[in-house]
Amino acid sequence: MIVRTLESANQSARRVVSPDGNWESCRLLLEEDGMGFSFHITTIYGGKSCRLHYTNHLESVYCMAGKGSIKSLLTEEIFQIEPGTVYALDQHDPHILTAEEDLILACVFNPPVVGNETHRPDGSYGLDGESLNLE
């Protein structure tokens, strides 16, 4: 059994802040936990946008707090994100996530991330830690 608190994880290497200052993510479950997925609580800071394209991962996201939008770069559709909204990037969908106010999101990645990855220039995470932020 794994029992871990958000508070304790946020005080460890499991808390990752993006190099560009647009987001932070607390990785509550990682590959080393052996669950087959990783689970993160991520905050996209209000007024910030992130261009993302998870070419190696599937992601499901549930909005717990805040307000923003997600734009599909395939269809140009824009969907509002608010508490209670879930979206799933089931086709490795390239997208832009914009936070009007701090978005607090519960995120699941498959395959799991391994540690303190940050996004590569194409907006993806590498596999097996190839995009680890070692600074």
Residue 132 pLDDT: 45
Domains and CATH numbers, the chain: 13-110 (2.60.120.10)
Distance CA 97, CA 78 (A): 10
Residue 125 pLDDT: 74
Q: Tell whether pTM > 0.75.
A: yes
Q: Which residues of the chain have pLDDT under 50?
A: 131-135
Distance CA 62, CA 89 (A): 12
In tens, the pLDDT along 3-39 reads 999 999 999 999 999 888 999 999 999 999 999 999 9
Residue 34 pLDDT: 96
Concatenating the DSSP letter of every residue in 47-66 gives T-EEEE--SS-EEEEEEEEE
Distance CA 6, CA 135 (A): 23
